[in-house]
Amino acid sequence: MSMAIGYFPGCSGLGTSMEYESSTRAVCKTLGITLKDIPDWNCCGSTPAHTVDHVLSSALSARVFAQAETAGITDVITPCPSCLKNLRNCLNNLEDPLFSARVEALTERPLSQPHSVKSVLQVIVEDIGLDALGPHIRRSLKGLKVVPYYGCLMVRPGDVMQFDNPENPTSLDRLLEALGAEVLPFPLKTDCCGASYAIPARDVVPRLTGRILDMAVQLGADAVVVACPLCQMNLDLRQGQVNAKNNTQYTIAVPYFTQLMAYAFGLPDADVAFDKLAVTVRPAFDCMQRRAAEIAKQEREEAAKKAEKARAAAEKAAKAKEAEAAAQSAGGEA
């Protein structure tokens, strides 16, 4: 399957989450998704804008859709859950004529047609389908133990995001399983990491992020897999701050799901960009390779046992057949 769709990278994609950006583009290309960049796009408003003025926040997102229209784009995808929430809130807000009029007074560019926006994860799971991943896998993630972390916004609020189960999402779980990884049940998969409170309330993120990392380590995970730039920053870049605040020594990798996809697809290191992570993935992959070798050994031993069992059964059946034939022969001579 191939498809073309508008692409909104968000501000983080060109800065703090460049590894998410490069791996997303590479994975989409591999899966036949042509990303049409929105010309001269602007920030969607992120967290600051809507805390100050909801109309201004929607106006920023409305301009993104207006810019998409200039390029003939109506359907948009974005890798960032925060961008997704703002863009979807904008479309919902514009359904109110009075609110829409206030937004248009700022943008001076009314939208002339319906628009839609989805996350990259949603498009891969729902539109491309997980069965389509198999033919592209060159390096299975068998042996890698992971916990999927969706964060607060990927599937919430349910009536806005309209994707997966807002209380117990499984889309990321199933994607990682399709890549061969062992997905561990993670009760904190939608708990908040502290988001942008790392700046105004510095004690919040170490406490909330610490809970997530601690649970992942207790479960025996090699990595916490994310789909949000802000979540990734708090869990990865701020892991040292968490350790200092909580007197812990976490060193668990926090890759984006698209990075693991790009690795599994055998794409170039520059696209995977594991080197951009603050906490190295090397220990996680060392564990994966050891377990994969153990699993392969067990599978070979089990196959050998089955083959021996089948050989013994066949030999027994042959002997029984010979005995039956001898008995029939003796009966005929009598």
Q: Mind giving me the DSSP string for 157-179?
A: SHHHH-SS-SSS--HHHHHHHHT
In this structure, are 141 and 282 located in the same domain? Answer: yes
Last residue of some domain: 123, 155, 171?
123
In this structure, are 112 and 164 located in the same domain? Answer: no
Summarised one tens digit per residue, pLDDT across range 252-308 is 999 999 999 999 999 999 999 999 999 999 999 999 999 999 999 999 999 999 999
How confident is the model at residue 312, as a pLDDT? 93
How confident is the model at residue 153, as a pLDDT? 92
* 66: its two tokens: 């207006």
Does residue 306 lie within any of the structural domains?
no
Last residue of some domain: 123, 147, 179?
123
How confident is the model at residue 161, as a pLDDT? 95
Does residue 324 lie within any of the structural domains?
no
How confident is the model at residue 110, as a pLDDT? 93
CA distance 121 to 333: 77
Is residue 325 very low, low, confident or very high in pLDDT (cuts 50, 70, 90)? confident
Summarised one tens digit per residue, pLDDT across range 214-250 is 999 999 999 999 999 999 999 999 999 999 999 999 9
What is the tally of structural domains in the chain? 2
Angle in degrees, 0-180, between the axes of helices 54-70 and 97-107, rounded to the nearest 10: 70
- Domain of residue 249 covers 130-289
User: What SS3 class is residue 226?
Assistant: strand
123 close to 132: Cβ distance less than 8 angstroms: no
Does residue 300 lie within any of the structural domains?
no
CA distance 18 to 277: 10
CA distance 313 to 326: 20
Residue 80 predicted with pLDDT over 90: yes
CATH number of the domain residue 111 falls in: 1.20.1050.140
In this structure, are 106 and 135 located in the same domain? Answer: no
Question: Cis omega (within 30 of 0) on the bond before 157?
Answer: yes
Does residue 312 lie within any of the structural domains?
no
In this structure, are 164 and 272 located in the same domain? Answer: yes
How confident is the model at residue 334, as a pLDDT? 56
Last residue of some domain: 75, 98, 123?
123
Does residue 311 lie within any of the structural domains?
no
In this structure, are 72 and 115 located in the same domain? Answer: yes
Does residue 148 lie within any of the structural domains?
yes
How confident is the model at residue 308, as a pLDDT? 94
Residue 49 predicted with pLDDT over 90: no
* 51: its two tokens: 């805390």
Count helices and strands (H / E) in the chain. Answer: 15, 7
Does residue 135 lie within any of the structural domains?
yes
Residue 202 predicted with pLDDT over 90: no
Summarised one tens digit per residue, pLDDT across range 135-194 is 999 999 999 999 999 999 999 999 999 999 999 999 999 999 999 999 999 999 999 999
Diameter over CA atoms, the chain: 110
Does residue 109 lie within any of the structural domains?
yes
In this structure, are 274 and 145 located in the same domain? Answer: yes
In this structure, are 136 and 78 located in the same domain? Answer: no
In this structure, are 161 and 64 located in the same domain? Answer: no
Mean pLDDT of 27-48: 94
CA angle 107, 109, 114 (to 5 degrees): 115
Is residue 333 very low, low, confident or very high in pLDDT (cuts 50, 70, 90)? low
In this structure, are 137 and 107 located in the same domain? Answer: no
Q: Which residue has the higher pLDDT, 334 or 277?
A: 277
Is residue 2 very low, low, confident or very high in pLDDT (cuts 50, 70, 90)? confident
- Mean residue pLDDT of the chain comes to 95
In this structure, are 148 and 284 located in the same domain? Answer: yes
Mean pLDDT of 115-129: 98
* 258: its two tokens: 């698209």
In this structure, are 49 and 100 located in the same domain? Answer: yes
In this structure, are 231 and 136 located in the same domain? Answer: yes
CATH number of the domain residue 178 falls in: 3.40.50.11810
